[in-house]
Structure 1
Amino acid sequence: MTSENYKKALKSAKKAYQSSLYNGENPYLAALDDMVNRDEIVSEVYLGLTEVPLKKIVGTKTHSRSTAFAKNFMPLLGEETEFAMKWDALCKIHETEGIRDPIKVYEYLNRFYVLEGNKRASVLKFHEAVSIPAVVTRLIPKRDDESIQNRLYYEFLKFYDLTKINFIWFTQEGNFTELIKLVGTDDRWDDDLRMEFKQLYNRFRRLYKQNGGEGLRITTGDAFLEYLMIYGYKKANSALDEEIGRRIKNMMPELLLLANKKQIDVLTQPIEVVQRKGLLSSLTNIGNRRTKKVRVAFVYAKTITESGWTFGHELGRNHIEEVFQEQIETTYVENVPEGNEAYNQIAKLAKEGYDVVFTTTPTMINPTLKAALEYPHVKFLNCSENVSYKHLRTYYGRIYEARFLTGIIAGSMTKSDVIGYVANYPISGVISGINAFALGAKLVNPKVKVKLVWSKMVESDNPQKTIDEILIDADVDIVSSQESVMASGADKAFGIYSINDCDSEDEGCNTRNYIATPLWHWGKFYEKIVKNILDGTFNAVNNTLGSGTKAINYWWGLNADVVDILYSKSLVPDETKKLIDFMKRMISVGEYHPFTGPIKDQKGHVRVNKDDILNNEAILSMNWLVDNVEGFIPTSGEEELDIPIVDMLGVNRP
């Protein structure tokens, strides 16, 4: 007669069996031979004896063994069978001395299928063991770039070759590489590092499960990577279980957002415009009178005097001080290290009682999120456009709209039909700007080509001079460079300018005429956000939009007056001025969109059909160039681009 353990296992098997039938699924274990055609396998690799995670043992090698078990690997055969007696005997061995004999398995796509030892695997699964020793043979499938699972598996193979870790899996490409970076070594992992990592992962997995993590539609690896991105590998390793558990609990809204594919409410117009559509339920919040100043802090990665980007945000801070006067108090911290090192300074501002903290570069997103998790009473906002979290909001301008307008100017004024474009970092906001500019130029000049140069990849003592020489050699007569942060003072290569093949010291030679530039109005941006905080609509927007489980990103453009263009009244032809003013109005009121089809990429593939409009998500994740751009998108692997912003936000080429 079998023990109570077998009865429990059999009951669990029958329940799983019925559930599979109800869902129209095969109720038995998967059989590898039924799943894989030998022609699909390019090689078999003998891995030898290794520790295999029991959660990844999902089936048998042959069909003949599969019907003895339900999908959860619990036994289906009756209590009086010989099978039941043997299973029960193994169960007793495990409870008294432990199962030591390794099983034999085949690994396929990082899942394991048992050739010998099905009952041993079943018994250990019943007892919720973590792993089992196994002799493993790996089946490697052919490359299939159309399959996300196949692409992920080939990433895993590189990861496994370096680490010999088989218990972690991700649902997004690039995460295996990201994990290697976070651990901090490109060398092969030794036994000590492997054991250290395994212990941390198992601690996290146990605490994640206790906090309901297994109910989310992501892998434990996805959640673990998100945790490491916020807290760092070394600090995560030194944390006590109590602290890890508390962090996981605080992170659950972020992990839920990740499980829901990072659902975002992208606000393309200021909140007060959205609020008019129905905010009666939150009027009580708006009517509250404040008895103290709202304290607002700005965190800058560079100094105000050395960085045009930082200076632009500082102008924005000065603007809100003028607008709100006695209602707010502001401060700033400059030259703060980028990346996780920024956390201490951001947290210090929260401890000092600041109500709102703006971090003004995307490279501070992780330390800002960490601070937001630790100080939920503070409103944190990060200046970035394609990252999304529940605990903080992001803000950025649709600068591509202004780029589109300057493209129209450049396209109408070029005589060589070749325009230069100088870009800095290969991140999606830059890519959308390049494409919008090229489409604007093409709108008025179908023959125009845009020559793309990446300034951060030019090695020279005088990079600007070298870039000019490259562009002149390509027959370029007009160049587009970085946007301006102010409406005057073009002392650098801002906006679009003409370029001539002559020495600037020659009498009567003017190498540059500045024609136009896109503009950031950070003051307007900050004014609208702070106004929402003061009048109560900042929090009320969650209810208005039903955004309780979504991230909120502010992504405003010409319609909010946070981006604009400035152009020379004397250099730009009158007819072009009329067109620019007309197109600016059309874009502002939503009657025209710069990414209106048909649009083809450099390979001639149609990216946007005729009269269709590219959606926000596609623009925010853009990783391709339109057909009239000559150049390429470098990756973060390029040595010249080994800098934080590219490492974090650099696009993956298709």
Structure 2
Amino acid sequence: MPLEEYHKAMRQGLKEEKEAIARGEEPGLRVLPENPDTLAVRRESLGVVEIPSELIDGTCNDLRKNAFSRGFYPVLQEESEFAHKWSNLCKAHLEEGIRDPIKAVEYLNHFYVVEGHKRVSVLKYFGAISIPGVVTRLLPKPSDDPEVVAYYEFLDFYQMTGLNFVVFKRPGEYRELLQALGRTNREAWSAEEIYAFRSFYYMFRDACYRDNADRRYISVALLVYLKIFGYQQSRNKLSSEIGKELVKIRPEILNRLENAGATLVLEDAVKKPLFSFSTTGKICAAFIHGGSAATSKWVYNHEYGRYLLDNTMGDQVRTLSYENVLTDEQADEAIEDAVKKGADMIFTTTPKLLLPSVKAAVLHPDVKILNCSLNTAYPSVRTYYPRLYDAKFIKGAIAGTLVQDGRIGYVADYPTYGSIAGINAFAQGARMVNANARVYLEWANLKEGGGVERLHEKGIVYIDHLDRLAANTGNDMHGMHNLALIQCHWGRLYRSLVRRVVEGSWKQEERGSSAISYWWGMTQGIVGVLCSRRLPIGTRRLASVLRDAIREDRLDPFYGVLMDQQGRVIYGDDAPLPADQILSMNWLSAYVEGRIPAFDELTPKAQELVKLQGIQGLEGSVDP
């Protein structure tokens, strides 16, 4: 019988070798890349560790490399001495079990066997989940390599949990996992917490293997699954139930695996299909808000957009509205109610409702769900947001014509996608008309508060705050004369989005596993700048000229050489800066005085938003 088992294992190994060659890969085991003494900054003895079997995929001995396939199945002929020893070990395992731990080296979450290759092969063949081993960890030299950065984040996670089976290769994903698990600190996990998570993980792992997933897929799928369905809500599910839900979120998982991100749709120019399958009845569009129109200007503006949608497309659209949806549970209830009432489209008008929107979208694939946010990588939900930096550029130019000493104040709200572009565009506009212009940056949502007051104390007269440019004539914002403000035409935006469903052109914009994000601005008529008659007539004419030039694509705020506060050239091509780089800006212009705040300086409300929409490096952290 052991020889029969060897024959089966060898056939599997030869199959893996053939598949590796077909993919252009080298067959056989990984070999530790270099001499351990030069590979790592130091060694660390872990003692006896339960090693996840799928992470054992290499050897420290180059001579052992060709005796096994990448999955540690044997490939040498049945007449060999190797096959005889493997069969004897197989017999011992079936009769008594293999108890002796192997010896291995761990480097970047790969385990390379020093001693016990055949033990690993036999145990993996019989489906062992983990294999005991005496492990020496090699700590890599710190670097900017994303895999190394992610590994050092793993070490923090390992120190908290002692768990080594969840492996991420991109920075920030361990932090995301902790947030999805509801962990807000770095305290060590209790034995009960470790046991509960381990049990759930292996149930989840089983569901993935039933779907023929590989190990990289499992960790990424786990993160995406927990973000959408929640850990507490899922920890008692069976693998069969998890498996059904995994099928529904496969586009979200592939988006992250393929690093597909989001495709920015910058133009509102979808053509009506040649063979139109437009709807015959009325489209039902539901609006779900995180506040009320009576107390929130943001909600009021979206509700006014809904009102305009009703009044301009009333023969094609009917609408529903839900206010004060403040929690994920309330969002689930509101969305389910809208679906029951026949909603074909659902707009959730705050980034805080993103994850409930994704969950609803995968559960109701026939309903088009859109969230008012930017650059989110969930293909099941489309996102939309006004592109404001062109308008900020014009306001900066207006301010630049007014100041005598060149000092202009700017109070930003949150360090989220698009907001840094607004700051820099404002500075570009001011500098274009005033060679002495400097923008003094403050933030409205810091724990310490007082952003506007600090600008007043510096004697700065012109301050841009809450999308309006004002002249200081008193001690607070109530004593400031409004000179220019940004106007968002939400009704026009919602008409354009609904039109895609009415005319049957929705699917034309699909981009594989990439998410879709509509980012429309002045050129599309979604954003405008209103100028006060208090402004000099020459300044108003300048604003009009700049507006027309931007709308006709004759002017771009981020064209040519761009420098940061340290004097480094960030962009130097004789062309406009690409839209994705504008959206993801995490640097401030050389013309800006101030800084981007640290995460822990923000108010709790701001931190919640930044976790969802924060610029790279500021998406939130687990408190130390």
TM-score (norm 2): 0.93
Deviations 1:389-422 (A, max 9, x none): 2222111110111111111111221112111111
Residues 446/170 of structure 1: CA separation in 2 closer, same or farther (3 Å cut): farther
Residues 580/242 of structure 1: CA separation in 2 closer, same or farther (3 Å cut): same
Deviations 1:470-502 (A, max 9, x none): 11333422111112xxxxxxxxxxx111225x5
Deviations 1:546-565 (A, max 9, x none): 63544322211112211111
Q: 2:409 aligns to what SS in structure 1? A: strand
Aligned twin of 1:472: 456
Contact 1:355–1:379 (CA<8 Å) still a contact in 2? yes
Aligned twin of 2:359: 370
Residues 352/635 of structure 1: CA separation in 2 closer, same or farther (3 Å cut): farther
Aligned twin of 1:547: 511
How far 1:341 moved relative to its partner?
A: 5.2
Amino acid at match of 1:455: A
Residues 135/340 of structure 1: CA separation in 2 closer, same or farther (3 Å cut): farther
Partners of 2:600 and 2:374 lie apart in 1 by 22
Aligned twin of 1:337: 326
Aligned twin of 2:443: 454
Aligned twin of 2:96: 97
How far 1:340 moved relative to its partner?
A: 6.0
Aligned twin of 1:622: 585
Amino acid at match of 2:260: K
Partners of 1:314 and 1:223 lie apart in 2 by 37
How far 1:228 moved relative to its partner?
A: 0.5
Aligned twin of 1:289: 280
Aligned twin of 1:529: 497
Contact 1:635–1:651 (CA<8 Å) still a contact in 2? no
Partners of 1:650 and 1:264 lie apart in 2 by 15
Aligned twin of 2:254: 256
How far 1:652 moved relative to its partner?
A: 2.9
Aligned twin of 1:8: 8
Q: 1:236 aligns to what SS in structure 2? A: coil
Residues 627/36 of structure 1: CA separation in 2 closer, same or farther (3 Å cut): farther
Partners of 1:641 and 1:139 lie apart in 2 by 39
Deviates more, 1:235-244 or 1:352-361: 235-244
- The reply to whether residue 411 of structure 1 matches residue 369 of structure 2 is no
Aligned twin of 1:565: 529
Amino acid at match of 1:618: Q
Amino acid at match of 1:499: N
In the TM superposition, what are the counterparts of 1:91-130 in structure 2 within 5 Å? 91-130=90-129
In the TM superposition, what are the counterparts of 1:150-165 in structure 2 within 5 Å? 150-165=148-163
Q: 1:442 aligns with which of 422, 431, 434?
A: 431
Aligned twin of 1:496: 469
Amino acid at match of 2:112: Y
Partners of 2:579 and 2:326 lie apart in 1 by 31
Q: 1:428 aligns to what SS in structure 2? A: coil
Deviations 1:124-170 (A, max 9, x none): 2222322111111111112112x111111111111111111111112
Q: 2:253 aligns to what SS in structure 1? A: helix
Aligned twin of 2:622: none
Partners of 2:594 and 2:475 lie apart in 1 by 27
Contact 2:6–2:83 (CA<8 Å) still a contact in 1? yes
Contact 1:402–1:519 (CA<8 Å) still a contact in 2? no
Contact 1:636–1:650 (CA<8 Å) still a contact in 2? no
Q: 1:646 aligns to what SS in structure 2? A: helix
- The reply to whether residue 348 of structure 1 matches residue 321 of structure 2 is no
Partners of 2:18 and 2:310 lie apart in 1 by 66
Aligned twin of 1:653: 617
Deviations 1:622-649 (A, max 9, x none): 2221211122222434353463212222
Partners of 1:18 and 1:229 lie apart in 2 by 38
Amino acid at match of 2:542: L
How far 1:429 moved relative to its partner?
A: 2.0
Contact 1:497–1:514 (CA<8 Å) still a contact in 2? yes
Residues 114/123 of structure 1: CA separation in 2 closer, same or farther (3 Å cut): same
How far 1:89 moved relative to its partner?
A: 1.4
Amino acid at match of 2:288: V
Q: 2:565 aligns with which of 597, 602, 605?
A: 602
How far 1:205 moved relative to its partner?
A: 2.0
Partners of 1:2 and 1:209 lie apart in 2 by 26
Contact 1:340–1:366 (CA<8 Å) still a contact in 2? no
Residues 141/547 of structure 1: CA separation in 2 closer, same or farther (3 Å cut): closer
Aligned twin of 2:38: 39
Aligned twin of 2:270: 274
Partners of 2:307 and 2:64 lie apart in 1 by 74
Deviates more, 1:201-210 or 1:368-377: 201-210
Contact 1:458–1:467 (CA<8 Å) still a contact in 2? no
Contact 2:386–2:519 (CA<8 Å) still a contact in 1? yes
Residues 589/212 of structure 1: CA separation in 2 closer, same or farther (3 Å cut): farther
- The reply to whether residue 580 of structure 1 matches residue 548 of structure 2 is no
Aligned twin of 1:70: 69
Partners of 1:213 and 1:29 lie apart in 2 by 20
- The reply to whether residue 632 of structure 1 matches residue 595 of structure 2 is yes
Deviations 1:341-361 (A, max 9, x none): 522222222123222211001
Amino acid at match of 1:575: G
Aligned twin of 2:195: 195
Partners of 1:101 and 1:504 lie apart in 2 by 75
Residues 19/231 of structure 1: CA separation in 2 closer, same or farther (3 Å cut): closer
Q: Which runs of 5+ in 1 are unaligned?
A: 484-494
Deviations 1:358-407 (A, max 9, x none): 10011111100111111222221110111132222111110111111111
Q: Which runs of 5+ in 2 are unaligned?
A: 619-624
Deviates more, 1:230-239 or 1:68-77: 68-77
- The reply to whether residue 358 of structure 1 matches residue 347 of structure 2 is yes
- The reply to whether residue 28 of structure 1 matches residue 28 of structure 2 is yes
How far 1:25 moved relative to its partner?
A: 4.6
Amino acid at match of 1:162: M
Partners of 1:25 and 1:250 lie apart in 2 by 32
Deviations 1:317-347 (A, max 9, x none): 1111211234332221111114565222222
Over the residues paired in the alignment, what is the CA RMSD in angstroms?
Answer: 2.4
Aligned twin of 1:140: 139
Q: What is the aligned length? A: 615
Partners of 2:52 and 2:447 lie apart in 1 by 48
How far 1:263 moved relative to its partner?
A: 4.8
Partners of 1:243 and 1:421 lie apart in 2 by 51
Residues 5/589 of structure 1: CA separation in 2 closer, same or farther (3 Å cut): farther
Deviates more, 1:362-371 or 1:440-449: 440-449
Partners of 2:198 and 2:617 lie apart in 1 by 32
Partners of 2:76 and 2:236 lie apart in 1 by 47
Residues 69/246 of structure 1: CA separation in 2 closer, same or farther (3 Å cut): closer
Aligned twin of 1:486: none
Deviations 1:214-245 (A, max 9, x none): 39xx5311111111111111001133333212
Q: 1:219 aligns to what SS in structure 2? A: helix
Deviations 1:565-595 (A, max 9, x none): 1111331x33333332222122223232222
Partners of 2:305 and 2:554 lie apart in 1 by 29
Partners of 1:28 and 1:324 lie apart in 2 by 64
Contact 1:2–1:79 (CA<8 Å) still a contact in 2? no
